[in-house]
Amino acid sequence: MNISSIKSASATIALTFALVSPVMPIGENMNHAAAQAAEVDYETLPPDPSEGAQKLAAAKVTMPQAIEMAMKASGGTILSASAAADGDKVTYEVICAVGGVPQRIMVDGMTGAITRIKLSPLDAIVKASAKVDGVVQSVSGDFGANPPAYFVSLFAAGKIHTVVVNATDGTIISDTARGQLPGVDTDVEMVTLPDGLKYIDIVKGTGPMPSGPSAVVEVHYTGYLVDGTKFDSSVDRGSPASFPLANVIKGWTEGVGSMNVGGKRKLIIPYALAYGPAGRQGAIPPKATLIFDVELLKIVSDPATTPAAVPAPAAK
């Protein structure tokens, strides 16, 4: 592809470099900063030092040799180095500063093979544009991921694509597309209610509708922040949720309460109908608009529609 033919919505290329766990897989979540946060394992016992020593001693490349190889390959300054053993395989991770930018170099402890970043941001844009013909919005690098990668965002056919490009060999790791809203993609028209609640009926149900807040419903749902961060999902847990409509946030009471069983709806809930200006510590930021994909599975109970029990006749 001719570089001059690449369309860009911005002249600025934003690069972020994160040094995170070398075993962190590439994710597809749009919130890359959250994806880069490595989890600390507080469950597994640390390895036996003697076992670790034996594995490193069996490597054909030593730590000093790996550092020297990384320095020659990068021409940079060494910031840190560490070794990891997985079965019979030993891998050295060497972090170098190249032109003031941290760069991650992997050295195979058995063969001496070097894996390093070979693509520039412009190379990544060319690769992504060959995959998706669109307007480039941004490119960012996560060189602490495994493998190191660029995330290229492009607008195409009314969607925003995130193309993940392997920074070592230029292969496309993934291409995900979404519309304006995270979750289930739909072209159905959005409905806006006077109080600010918005919804899209992805599938209109044909079953009964809850009579009011006293009804207990069973649903499957997935919740997102506006940046695409998934914060909760009964679907991921594999277990639907049941609750009285009176015991949830106002946006759910109204939005789910007007669904028919069998329906699937996308709810766009302003913070005033969700968790308010303060949000919810640890999960929901302040003043957060929430987006839910909800499927109404059944009405568990509905006192308003349950016939009153007929009293037994008095004994004669």
Set 67, 275, 291, 299: catalytic member: 275
Is the model more confident about 248 or about 47? 248
Higher pLDDT, 2 or 265: 265
pLDDT tens-digit series, residues 97-121: 888 878 888 899 999 999 888 888 9
Verify that 259 and 142 share a domain, yes or no: no
Q: Which two tokens stand for residue 316?
A: 């004669």
296 by Cβ neighbours in 10 Å (0-12 / 13-18 / 19+) ranks as buried
In a domain, 310, yes or no: no
What does the pLDDT average to over 196-213?
96
Q: What is the pLDDT of residue 251?
A: 97
CATH number of the domain encompassing residue 156 = 3.10.450.40
Catalytic hit among 17, 231, 243, 302? 231
Q: What pLDDT sits at residue 42?
A: 82
Is there a single domain that holds both residue 142 and residue 287? Answer: no
Report the CATH number that the domain containing residue 196 is assigned in CATH: 3.10.50.40
Q: Summarize pLDDT for 126-165 with one digit per residue, the tens.
A: 999 999 999 999 999 887 677 889 999 999 988 889 999 9
Task: Sort 57 into a burial class: Cβ within 10 Å, 0-12 / 13-18 / 19+.
Answer: exposed
* pLDDT at residue 300, rounded to an integer: 95
Q: What is the band of 35 on the pLDDT scale with cuts at 50, 70, 90?
A: very low
Tokens of 215: 């009804």
Give yes or no: 125 in active site: no
Question: Torsion over CA of 158, 164, 167 and 168, rounded to 10 degrees?
Answer: -130
Which of 179, 202, 231 corresponds to the end of one domain? 179
143 is catalytic: no
Shared domain check, 4 and 109: yes
Same domain, 102 and 218: no
Q: Looking at the domain assignment, is residue 11 inside a domain? A: yes
User: Would 184 be classed as within a structural domain?
Assistant: no
* CA neighbor of 232 nearest in space, from 248, 246, 245, 216: 248
Q: Which of 173-182, 232-241, 268-277, 307-316 has the lowest mean pLDDT?
A: 307-316
| Pair (76, 36) in one structural domain | yes
Which of 124, 157, 179 marks a domain boundary?
179
Residues 235 and 152 in one domain: no
| Domain closes at, from 131, 155, 179 | 179
The residue that leads in pLDDT, 217 or 22, is: 217
pLDDT at residue 308 above 70?
no
Q: Are residues 222 and 133 in the same domain?
A: no
Among 105, 160, 292, 293, the one annotated catalytic: 292
Confidence band for 51, pLDDT divided at 50, 70 and 90: confident
Q: Read off the pLDDT band of 34 (50, 70, 90).
A: very low
- Which of 221, 269, 284, 293 does the annotation list as catalytic? 221
> What's the whole-number mean pLDDT along residues 81-96?
89
Residues 87 and 113 both lie in one domain:
yes
Q: Tell me, yes or no, whether 312 lies in a domain.
A: no
* 249: annotated active-site residue: yes
Average pLDDT, the chain: 84
**Is 150 annotated in the active site?**
no
Query: Would the pLDDT of 47 be above 80?
Result: no
- Catalytic residue chosen out of the listed positions 249, 284, 291, 299: 249
Same domain membership, residue 119 and residue 229: no
Percent of the chain at pLDDT above 70? 84
What's the mean pLDDT in 286-297? Answer: 97
| pLDDT in the model for residue 40 | 72
Q: Which domain holds residue 25?
A: 1-179
Please check whether residues 157 and 275 belong to one and the same domain. Answer: no
What integer pLDDT is reported at residue 306 of this predicted model? 60
Instruction: Provide the domain count of the chain.
Output: 2
Q: Are residues 212 and 99 in the same domain?
A: no
pLDDT at position 26 over 70: no
Domain co-membership, 88 together with 224: no
- 97: in domain: yes
Does residue 186 lie in a domain region?
Answer: no
